[in-house]
Chains A and B, each alone.
Chain A
Amino acid sequence: MVVYQPGNRRRTILALIVLTAVTLITLDVRGSGPISGLRGGARDVVNPIAGAFETVFSPVGDWIDGVTSAASLKDENARLRRRLDAARGQQAAARAATQENKDLKKLLDLPFVDGADAIAAQVVEGAPSNFEFTVQIGKGESDGVGVDMPVVTGAGLVGRVLEVSHDRATVLLIKDPESGVGVRIEKSGTPGVVKGRGDSDTLRVDFVDPNADVTKGEVVYTSGQQNSPFPAAVPVGTVSKVSKARGDLQQDVLVKPLVDFSHLDYVKVLRPPPGR
C-alpha cells in the first residue's frame, strides 16, 4: 500500500510550478506571439488603475523625492544656470554653423532627423524592475507608435521602442546592457557599436579600430546603416575616455550620453520614412 506523505504533495506542487515557469520562459525566449499579446493586454488592463493611483499619490512621491534631494537640487540649479549662460554665448556661433550644415546635407542627400515625422510623448513611468533600464511613454499603438521605432529628445538619442500596447509603449534606453547602437565617431568617422553599461553614467563603444585617432570630447553619432532602426546623424554622446593597450584588437572608448536619463520628461518617437 502506498502511503501518501505530505512531503510528496509538496514536491509534486513545486515540480508542477517549476515546470510551468520553465515552459513559459522557454516560450518567451523563443518569441512566442501570444506572450507579447498577453503583456500588451495586461498593460491595457492595469494602466487605468495605475493612472488613477498615480494621480492621487504622485504628490507624496514628489514630496519625498524633494525632501531627499533638496541639497542636490540646489547645486544642480546653480550648475544649470552657469551652463545656460555659456550656451547663450555659443548660440550665435552655432546659427551660422547650422546653416552651413543644412546646405552641405542637401548636397550629400543624407537623412535629416529634424525633418522626420515624429510623435511627441510624455514619460509616464520608470522601469518596474531594478535590472532593466526602460521607461514607459504615454503613447501607444493607437497613436502610431511601433516596435523598434527610435526615440529621441532635443539633446540626442534616448533608445528604441521595445513593446507597444494600445496606449502605452516601453522604451529600451541606450544605457541598458541589452541595447546596441551602430555609431560613427565625429572627426575620424570611425564606426563602432555603443553598448549600455546599466547604472553606470557612461556607455561603451565596441569594435573601434585600434589604429583610429579618437580623442576625448568628440561627438558620437548614429551611423544609420542599412537595417538599423536608428536614422543617421542622431547625436548619442561625447567621448569621455580613450584607452588602448598594445596588441589589443580594439580601443576602449567610453561615451558620456547627451541625454540626462534621470530627468526624462518628454521624448519624440521617430516614424520611419516611407518605404523603410
Chain B
Amino acid sequence: MTWLPRLRLALLILAVVVLQTTLFSAGLRVFGVMPDLGLVLTVAVAFYLGPERGAAFGFLTGLAVDLFLSTPLGLSALSFALVGYGVGVVQDGLVRSTRWVAPIMGALGGLTGGVLFVAIAALAGHDQLLALSSVRVILIATVYDALVAFAAFPIARWATRAPRRADQGLPGASLVGR
C-alpha cells in the first residue's frame, strides 16, 4: 500500500474518534444507543483490503477508541481486530451482486463485535456487562450499524482506493456499461 491510502486511513481513524466522542456521544442516539463507527469502518476496510490489513486497521481503530473509554485498553482493539480478520477471510466467498452487502456486513460485523466486546470485557473482570441491557444495546446498535454502513463502505473504498466493482451493485458504485 502506498503512503496516500495509509494517510487516508489514519485520518479516518482520527475522524472516528472525533465523531464518536462528540456528535454521537452528545446526540444522534437511537433509544439511547449510538453506532459503532470504528467497527463498521473496520468491516468496510476489511471487505476491500482483506484479513491482514482489516485486522490491523481494526486493531489501530479500536486502540484509538479505547483511549477514550474507561474499559481496559485493548478491549475494543481486540474485538475490532477479530471482526476485521473474519470479514477479510469471508469476503472472498461473498456473492456481491447485491447493493445490500454493505448493510448486511455492517450489521453482522456490529453484532459480532458487540458480542465479542462484552465477552472479552467479562473475561477481563467487567462482568457487569453480562446483562439483558447489553443484549438490548447490541441489537439496537446492530441496526444502526447497518444504516451507517451505507456511508461507511464508499468512504472506505475511497480511502483504500480499491478498484470500483461496477458490476457488483455496491453502494456508490457506478454501473458502467449498462
Chain A residues at the B interface, C-beta cutoff of 8 Å: 9-10, 13-14, 17-18, 20-25, 27-29, 35, 38-39, 42-43, 46, 49-50, 53-54, 57-58, 60-62, 64-65, 125-132, 134, 136, 162-163, 170, 172, 177-178, 197-200
Give Cα A64–Cα B56 distance, bound, in whole angstroms.
35
Contact partners of A21 in chain B: CB under 8 A: 59, 62, 74-75, 77-78, 81
Binds A, one of B23-31, B149-157, B162-170: B23-31
- Would you give the 0/1 interface string for B116-137, flagging 1 where the beta carbon is closer than 8 Å to chain A? 0110110011101101011001
Q: Are B27 and A61 interface neighbours, CB within 8 A?
A: yes
Which residue of chain B has the shortest Cβ distance to A49 in the bound complex?
B18
Q: Are B55 and A13 interface neighbours, CB within 8 A?
A: yes
**Total of A-B residue pairs, C-beta within 8 Å:** 146
Give Cα A5–Cα B171 distance, bound, in whole angstroms.
34
Extra inter-chain contacts (19) besides given A65-B28, A126-B25, CB under 8 Å: A14-B51, A17-B81, A21-B59, A21-B62, A25-B73, A27-B73, A35-B73, A38-B73, A39-B68, A46-B68, A53-B19, A125-B21, A128-B20, A131-B121, A131-B129, A163-B70, A170-B70, A178-B128, A198-B131
Q: Are A39 and B73 interface neighbours, CB within 8 A?
A: yes
Give Cα A20–Cα B117 distance, bound, in whole angstroms.
16
- Interface residue? B65 (CB, 8 A): yes
Chain B residues at the A interface, C-beta cutoff of 8 Å: 14, 17-28, 32-34, 36, 51-52, 55-56, 59, 62-65, 67-75, 77-78, 81-82, 85, 89, 117-118, 120-121, 124-126, 128-129, 131, 133-134, 137, 141
